[in-house]
Amino acid sequence: MSALFEPFTLRSLTIPNRVWMAPMCQYSADDHGPDMGVPHDWHFAHLAARAVGGAGLILTEATAVSPEGRISPADLGLWNDRQVAAFRRITSFLEAHGAVPAVQLAHAGRKASTERPWRGGGPAGPEAYGWTTVAPSPLPFAEGYPAPRELTKDDIAQVVADFAAAARRALAAGFKVVEIHGAHGYLINGFLSPHSNHRTDEYGGSFENRTRFALEVVDAVRAVWPEELPVFFRISATDWLTENAEDDREGWTADETVRFAKDLAAHGVDLLDTSTGGNAPDAVIPTAPGYQVPFAARVREETGLPVGAVGLITDPAQAEEIVASGRADAVLLGRELLRDPYWPLRAATALGLPPRRPAQYRRAA
């Protein structure tokens, strides 16, 4: 028996195991023209390989709800029907090979309009099809980044509507799970944290005000997403500012994450995908194997909301212990699945289970 390879049911959806693929940008879509934001053969091959490799649930990279919500000009989107048709080819293959197709819907906020990492990263200028970014407050993400435009209340309402429209398209594209990206300094996280939200209206200041936009997005998505299918929310459980005694800046905290998790559950979120950081580029983060697992475990213990754990989870025995001990309901692998698309098959073998190989590969067992 292995906890890592037990099925997991949320609402009416049963996921075949607890080894899931975390969202990872590929920066490989067309950056302009009619195919902007459309997944193509690279995305198909990338995601299909992890389904063949045995992942129980596969989350796409951050998929923008509008063109200006992309992290880079080469990111995927779900703001038009051309994108829906291309995604449908991918989701059909994932389901046919035993994986649950899931999409992470995102708006990058002040961290949008950046270059591909292999082109140096940093802000993308007009020559690289960049654009003016938006945020809760006109505060640059880091030195060398432009100040974003502060969103008006009408702008906020439009972004909420964009998330709902993208969720409708996600359903049409064949996705079974939608995850709302509220982590890593992108737009929703930007509203949550006092480090990046200096507003004085009903979207800033108090905890209730800073979480208002996120809950409006959740409500809008949940309203158009089928009752029988789950909604995930990805969060940065801490900015790694307030917890650092040597840093006098105020940020989003683990205590606030636990409090907010209860609100998310009340608004129809089924699982909290628990990461950390990303909102303050110079925050001191004490990384180590499984360093983010305690944040997930605390949410699960104090709220009862199912959680996913992510971050430097690389070993089958380590992953098994995280799930078997009840610290998380699933593990999400990122870089480890880039290194080895067949990690779930190897993990099953290491834990003494028959791996879920496709029939075409069984002679290699």
Q: What is the pLDDT along the chain (365 residues), one digit of tens a residue?
A: 899 999 999 999 999 999 999 999 999 999 999 999 999 999 999 999 999 999 999 999 999 999 999 999 999 999 999 999 999 999 999 999 999 999 999 999 999 999 999 998 899 999 999 999 999 999 999 999 999 999 999 999 999 999 999 999 999 999 999 999 999 999 999 999 999 999 999 999 999 999 999 999 999 999 999 999 999 999 999 999 987 777 788 999 999 999 999 999 999 999 999 999 999 999 999 999 999 999 999 999 999 999 999 999 999 999 999 999 999 999 999 999 999 999 999 999 999 998 888 889 888 87
Domains of the chain: 3-356 (3.20.20.70)
Q: Is 186 a catalytic residue?
A: yes
* Chain-centre distance for alpha carbon 209: 23
For residue 310, list its beta bridge partners: 332
Rg (C-alpha) for the chain, rounded Å, is: 19
287 and 243 Cβ atoms separated by less than 8 Å: no
> Per the residue annotation, which of 129, 186, 203, 291 is the catalytic one?
186
Instruction: Output the pTM of the full model.
Output: 0.96
